[in-house]
Amino acid sequence: MPDTRSFRFIAPVFAVLLSVPCAAAAQSSQPLSATVVIHADKPGAEINPDIFGQFAEHLGHGIYGGIWVGKDSPIPNTDGYRNDVVAALKDLHVPVIRWPGGCFADEYHWRDGVGPVAQRPVTVNTNWGGVPETNAFGTNEFLDFAEMIGAKAYINGNVGTGTAGEMADWLKYMTSDQDTTLTKLRRDGGRDRPWKIPFFAVGNETWGCGGDMRPEYYADLFRRYASFLKTPPGERPLIIASGGHDDDTSWTKVLMSTVHQNMGAISYHYYTIPSPTHDWQHKGPTIGFGENEWMSTLVNALKINDYIKQNIAIMNKYDPQKKVGFFVDEWGTWYDSAPGHNPGFLWQQNSIRDAVVAAATLNIFESHADRVRMANIAQMVNVLQAMILTDGSKMILTPTYHVFHMYIPFQGATLLPSDVKTAQYTYGKQSIPAISVSAAQGRNGVLEYSLVNLDPDKPVKILTTIEGANPSQVGGSILTGPAMDSHNTFDDPDAVHPVAFTGAKLRGHHLEVTLPPKSVVVLSLQ
């Protein structure tokens, strides 16, 4: 097909790199061109580490078999937690974990998951597969797990089938230091001192599985429930309201205009599917797809930038001081269930396409760091765009895991504005920027620079000018693969993994980089 890509200016944007179907094709392709100006002398907002957060719902094998195998399992574990999964997540520096859902949260009654495990009731997970829920993994198990990997806890309360009193008691169970029946219950379960609960949400997706509510009705419920969430002085969590999804901004408008206290953040959900028409019955396969689905996936993924802008504009009208955060606490790719797996368990393979989506999305979150202060990819293990996949005693790290690991230096860094001029990646009638980039100054003073090539066939030659800094050294890593669906398997767990990147040339204030197709590169300059 003729090359119809054009050159255009794009405001501060972030780059995503993709690789070619084969290395020979990549080498023979004429590189596209892009220029970037990084304003190191005009630092922006801090990139909150929590935008690299995770989500662990009682869904499929996300908890059972993924995180938790029980103390009697032959799989190596510590007090029931898988040793391999715990080690991998600790190495990822996970800042925060959201639990127990998701849709599961609004049918979850916390008392079912405390006390002696043998005495806990077995319930039914009506949202995900209609399978028995043993409640062996409850409040104590989750909070101990969060502490084990060094992550903060984000608890999602039950509005759909729960009461304000039940929610208030749950928070007291976790945080109270008084001698009460609730604290005795906690101590009898093995936890003497209270936990620190930094984040607590009042309901989940109340527009859908959380109660099929109108935003006006939920706003009243939020005010009521939140008023009963009481803790010892100084221990009150940031309270999160259930917000909208996709292009629906009505929830943000109603909450911002009618809730005037107790609301520290509004949640927002967005999932990327390949289907151009957002046909949830035919989303598309995880592997074995063509370039049409590569393009449609990326087109849909990048839409989140405009949706975030629309919500932020409403928030700025009512909250110009930006006291209320915008939490994208469910996001990621969602494909058709993998053959051979229970469709209600949402197990899917994870390829270099997911890595590119993850990097481009993280770049977008970073660009809105002054308002987007948390994001939780769905989900941590064995569900949707997972970090980790397990099969019995086997475990693999996904390309998405590797992107999150490459982006660790951005946690807590200071955003540096970037001006980008880039060629377009065009397929058929659709066209998107060929690259996504983000730059920041790390806490250690090092300039961190992420670049993503969204084109699966052509490399991109990028000339970067750094204003306000004069680095003398550059080094970094690259993640790519030979095919659009390159992925790791239990037989070949390291087919896709980062390697050292040597394609960056630094000359004073100028940096030249040629990004291979479908690739993610993170550079450190000092």
Active site residues: 205, 330
How many C-beta atoms surround the C-beta of residue 230 within 10 A? 12
Q: In angstroms, rounded to a whole number, what is the distance separating the alpha carbons of residues 175 and 157?
A: 15
- Quote the tokens at residue 231: 């803790």
- Residue 4 half-sphere exposure, CB side, CA atoms within 13 Å? 9
Q: In this structure, are residues 50 and 95 in contact, taking their beta carbons and an 8 Å threshold?
A: yes
Query: Is 46 strand, coil or helix?
Result: strand
Q: In this structure, are residues 41 and 142 in contact, taking their beta carbons and an 8 Å threshold?
A: no
Query: Is the four-CA dihedral 322, 324, 326, 329 of positive or negative sign?
Result: positive
The C-alpha angle 25, 397, 475, rounded to 5 degrees, equals 60
Taking phi over 0 as left and psi of -120 to 50 as alpha, with beta for the rest, 311 belongs to alpha
Contacts (Cβ under 8 Å, ≥6 apart) of 511: 449, 463, 464, 465, 466, 474, 504, 505, 523, 525
The C-alpha angle 458, 464, 470, rounded to 5 degrees, equals 150
Q: Which residues of 419-449 are buried (b: 16+ CB within 10 A; e: fewer)?
A: bbbbbbbbbeeebbbbbbbbbbbbeeebbbb
Q: What is residue 487's DSSP assignment?
A: B
Q: In angstroms, rounded to a whole number, what is the distance separating the alpha carbons of residues 122 and 145?
A: 22
> At 222, which amino acid appears?
F
Contacts (Cβ under 8 Å, ≥6 apart) of 387: 54, 88, 89, 92, 377, 380, 381, 397, 398, 400, 401, 404
The closest of 135, 55, 65, 63 to 96, measured between CA atoms, is: 55
The closest of 373, 372, 391, 371 to 381, measured between CA atoms, is: 391
Residues linked to residue 427 through DSSP beta bridges, in sequence order: 430
**How would you class 198 by CB atoms within 10 Å of its CB: exposed for 0-12, middle for 13-18, buried for 19 or more?**
middle
Residues linked to residue 64 through DSSP beta bridges, in sequence order: 68
